[in-house]
Chains A and B, each alone.
Chain A
Amino acid sequence: KNEVEQSPQNLTAQEGEFITINCSYSVGISALHWLQQHPGGGIVSLFMLSSGKKKHGRLIATINIQEKHSSLHITASHPRDSAVYICAVRSVEETSGSRLTFGEGTQLTVNP
């Protein structure tokens, strides 16, 4: 069993739909990251969370530390949101190097 699991693996939506991607992890963490990988391969960081909720534009990320679960929501989805969304965690045991453990990603396709 992977330390970080994402669901669904693949998600297809129509433009304008509300989207939720889930991430569950099995270790104690100091931070959780949501990343976006564009079709060309480039990766950008969307959020870093240690508690609560963060919002940036149409993107919302939440985390429940007790349940070891995080969700990424996209409101009013658009075809340009099509990408792979990756969840990654930093273990509390990580004392140097800021190593992250990654989920396998969720491929999102938003159709016009």
Chain B
Amino acid sequence: SQTIHQWPATLVQPVGSPLSLECTVEGTSNPNLYWYRQAAGRGLQLLFYSVGIGQISSEVPQNLSASRPQDRQFILSSKKLLLSDSGFYLCAWSIRLETGEQYFGPGTRLTVT
């Protein structure tokens, strides 16, 4: 069966510090991968998605970047965090070439102080 992991689960970082959130998927090959952010009291916002290794599409210009160094690994990064980067970050995957559902990781709650 497929499993999606995210870490860390919670993170408190000062403004201006770097960020690296990691997501890995097990039990499937060639997934589509997604990074979402959910600000407090708001809906899910798609930040990045990837259809393959090294292929990253950015949905919203911002202080963040994403990379996919391996087929089942998706990394969200920032060189210098802003207060507005606080939120709940979710990684998800879906089966490529299908209109099927997305499967979400447990999320990382980031607080920038």
Contacts and interface: CB of A to CB of B under 8 A. Distances in A.
Interface in B28-72: 32, 34, 38, 42-46, 49, 51, 57, 59
A41 B102 contact: no
Given A43-B104, A102-B43, A105-B43, A90 B99 contact: yes
Interface string B90-102: 1010101011111
A97 B90 contact: no
A19 interface: no
Contacts of B43: 86, 102-105
Interface string A37-66: 000111111001010000000000000000
Interface residues of B, number: 27
A86 B46 CA distance: 14
A99 B104 CA distance: 13
Q: How large is the interface on A (under 10, 10 to 19, 20 to 34, 35 or more residues)?
A: 20 to 34
A8 B99 CA distance: 27
A96 B51 contact: yes
Given A42-B107, A97-B51, A31 B102 contact: no
Interface of A: 30-31, 33, 35, 40-45, 48, 50, 86, 88, 90, 96-100, 102-105
